Amino acid sequence: MPYHQLTLEKREVTSQMHYSGARASAIAERLRRSPSTIGRELRRNEDSSGYRAVAAQEQTTRRRRNRPLIRKMDDPFINESVRTGLSQEWSPE
């Protein structure tokens, strides 16, 4: 199952259901997501005032924007290994 981030609309549903006292499993069932996904979402984005969808969306956007860009070919060992393999006509895979 491929990973897809929660949309703002799904975060709104999560927020409303969480505020009304629904458990993560009930929210997950409604959104057709894994209960662990909802639990992680609530833990990551809950603050002292609770879980708020807009704040959660902003935090997620900020985290994605600030994460480091990791490129495998920037590693000298991997770069050299790939170049050596290609020079020997190995498949890129």
**pLDDT tens profile 26-81:** 999 999 999 999 999 999 999 899 999 999 999 999 999 998 888 889 999 999 99
Stated pTM of the model: 0.71
* pLDDT at residue number 91: 83
If DSSP states are collapsed to H, E and C, what string results for 41-57?
Answer: HHHHHEECCEECHHHHH
pLDDT tops 60 at residue 1: no
**What is the per-residue burial (b if ≥16 Cβ within 10 Å, else e) of 8-32?**
eebbbbbbebbeeebebeebbeebe
Q: What is residue 16's predicted lDDT score, i.e. its pLDDT? A: 97
pLDDT band at 2 (very low <50, low <70, confident <90, very high): low
Q: Would you state the pLDDT for residue 3?
A: 64
- Predicted confidence at residue 81, as pLDDT, reads 92
